[in-house]
Structure 1
C-alpha cells in the first residue's frame, strides 16, 4: 500500500486539492496539416472553395534559337580561309568541311531524314556492304558498283566474328528474312549499320544506292540540327558552294514534304571542319576582304 493510502482522511483531501487537474482533451496539442506532412505543397488556382490544382509547367514548344543580329556572320570564302588556317598540316583528303543546319521547328514532331548525293564526292573512301543472295544479279551489280562485301552467310559470319570492315550496310528485300534470322541487330544497331526500310537501306536496286552512297551521305535531324560532311578540305570555294546549294535545296524539299504535319524552316547555316571552329554563314559567296578564289584551290 502506498504512503498516500495510510494518510488520514483529512490529509488525503488536502493533498487531492493540490493535485493538477487532468487536461481537457480539447486542449491537447494538435499538428497542423503542414506539420503532419512536411514538404507537401500543392499549387492551387483561386481561393477558398474555388481552389483548383494548378497544371504542371511545360517548356517551350519550339527550340529556342539565338538572335543572329547579335552575332557576326561570314561569307563562304572568308569562313573557308579561317577554317583552313586551323587545319594547317593535316591531310586535306581526310579532314572535312562540316555543315550544321539549324532549323526553326517544334520539339515534338517528325524529323528530317534522307540521303543526298553531292556534285563533288566527299566520302570517296566509304566501304559498303550489301546483304543479298550470293551469285545473284543484285550481287554482281553491287560488286560492279563498288561494294566491298556482298552475300549473306559470309557477311553474317564476319559480323558475328567482330570483323565489321565496312562503313555502310545495305540489304536486298529477298535477304531480309535471312538477316532477321541471323539476329545481328544488337551488333549492327548501335553502330547505325542495321539495314532498315525506314532509313532507305533496304532497296531493290542496290547498285544505284551503292553509287549514291559512295558519292553522297545520309543525314538526319537531331534536336533541330542537321549535321553532315559537305566537302574535303582541299575543295575549292566553287566546289563547296555547289555542294552547299544542293544540300540546302534538298533540306528545303524535305521540310516541304512534312509541311502538312509540322512547319520547318532553315534558321542558320554554320560551316566548320573536323578540328576547326564554326562560322555562321550570311549567304554571300565572298566579301571585299576575301582572297582570290584561285589561291584557295587545294591546300
Structure 2
C-alpha cells in the first residue's frame, strides 16, 4: 500500500492540469467571434436623426366646430353662471402660421370699450416739472424720481405700467432698477416706447389700454368683460384684428405670418373657434346676452 502513492500521484496532477487548461482556453476562443459580430452591428446601424419642426403644429379647421360670435358668447356665459360679471373676462386667442425662430408680434392698443380701467401707472420725471403736473392730471398713480427709486429698491412695486421722461432716464439708469423692474416687464426703454417726452398723452393712452405679445405662435389678450353686449364685443374684436393685421403687414417681406385661427374663451370656460360671423341663422337674439347673467 505504501508503494501505490507515488504511482497515482503524478497521474492525478496530470489530469488536474489538463482540465485547467481546457477550462482556460475554450471560452477565450469562443468569445472572439461574438465580439467581432457585436462591434460590426454597432458600426452598421446608420439611422438618420429626424430634423425638428421649424413651424408650429396647426390643426385642420375643417374638422373643428366653428361658431358665430353670438353663439360663442352664449355658451361661454353658460360656463360663467353664478360668477361676478366683472371678475371674469372674455379672452381672444389668435393662432398664427409662422416660424418658431422668427420675430414675435407685440404691441399695445386702446380698445373702443376698455377692459381694464384700474391700471396703476408710474411716471418717472422731475417731480416739480410741468411734465409731472400733466402726468397727474392724466391719471398717473405715482409721479417722481427718488421717492419711486427708494420704494422699488425696498421691494415695493405698486404699479402696473411704468414710463419715463427722457430728462430722468439717466437718473433711472444710475439707480440700477433694471434687475428688479426688468423681469416684471416694467423697465422703461426706448425700444418699447415707454421713454416718451409727452408723458401726459402716454398716460391717457395707457388708461384702458391693452398689450399683447406672440408666444409660441399664439397671441392672447383680454378682449372684454362678461357684462359687454355682443355689439361691444364685435367692435373690440374688429379693432384688435385690424391692429394685428397692420403689425403683420409692417414686418419684413421675408417673414411670413398668417392668421390661422381665432378662438374666444373666458376665465372659466373652454375655447370656441370663431367663423367670422356675428350671428348665425339659429342664434339667439343679441338682446338676451345684454342683461345680467
The answer to whether the superposition gives a TM-score over 0.5 is yes
**Residues 1:284 and 2:277 are matched in the alignment:** yes
Query: Which is worse superposed, 215-224 or 254-263?
Result: 254-263
- Counterpart of 2:188 in structure 1 is 195
**Residues 1:226 and 2:219 are matched in the alignment:** yes
**Residues 1:296 and 2:286 are matched in the alignment:** no
- Residues 144 and 42 of structure 1: is their aligned pair in 2 closer, same or farther, counting only changes over 3 Å? farther
Asked if the contact 1:129–1:170 (Cα under 8 Å) also holds between the matched residues in 2, the reply is yes
Match of 1:145 among 129, 138, 155: 138
Asked if the contact 1:235–1:298 (Cα under 8 Å) also holds between the matched residues in 2, the reply is no
**Residues 1:272 and 2:272 are matched in the alignment:** no
Structure 1 position 278, deviation (Å): 0.9
- Counterpart of 1:131 in structure 2 is 124
- Counterpart of 1:51 in structure 2 is none
Q: Which has the higher helix share?
A: 2
Match of 1:249 among 238, 242, 251: 242
Secondary structure at the aligned position of 2:58 is classed as: coil
Any idea what the Cα deviations from partners look like across 1:244-276, whole Å, max 9, x if unmatched? Answer: 001011111111111423100111000111122
Secondary structure at the aligned position of 1:254 is classed as: helix
Structure 1 position 40, deviation (Å): 6.4
Asked if the contact 1:113–1:199 (Cα under 8 Å) also holds between the matched residues in 2, the reply is no
Any idea what the Cα deviations from partners look like across 1:23-68, whole Å, max 9, x if unmatched? Answer: 8xxx79658478579x9668648xxxxxxxx5x5322221111111
CA distance in 1, matches of 2:86, 2:269: 15
- Residues 36 and 273 of structure 1: is their aligned pair in 2 closer, same or farther, counting only changes over 3 Å? same
Gaps of 5+ in 1: 1-14, 46-53
- Residues 292 and 197 of structure 1: is their aligned pair in 2 closer, same or farther, counting only changes over 3 Å? same
Structure 1 position 98, deviation (Å): 0.6
Mapping 1:49-68, distance limit 5 Å = 56-68=49-61
Match of 1:214 among 203, 207, 215: 207
- Residues 41 and 74 of structure 1: is their aligned pair in 2 closer, same or farther, counting only changes over 3 Å? farther
- Residues 77 and 153 of structure 1: is their aligned pair in 2 closer, same or farther, counting only changes over 3 Å? same
RMSD (Å) for aligned C-alpha atoms: 3.1
- Counterpart of 1:103 in structure 2 is 96
CA distance in 2, matches of 1:121, 1:252: 20
- Residues 192 and 41 of structure 1: is their aligned pair in 2 closer, same or farther, counting only changes over 3 Å? farther
The number of residue pairs the alignment matches comes to 281
Gaps of 5+ in 2: 1-12
Query: Which is worse superposed, 91-100 or 71-80?
Result: 91-100
**Residues 1:92 and 2:106 are matched in the alignment:** no
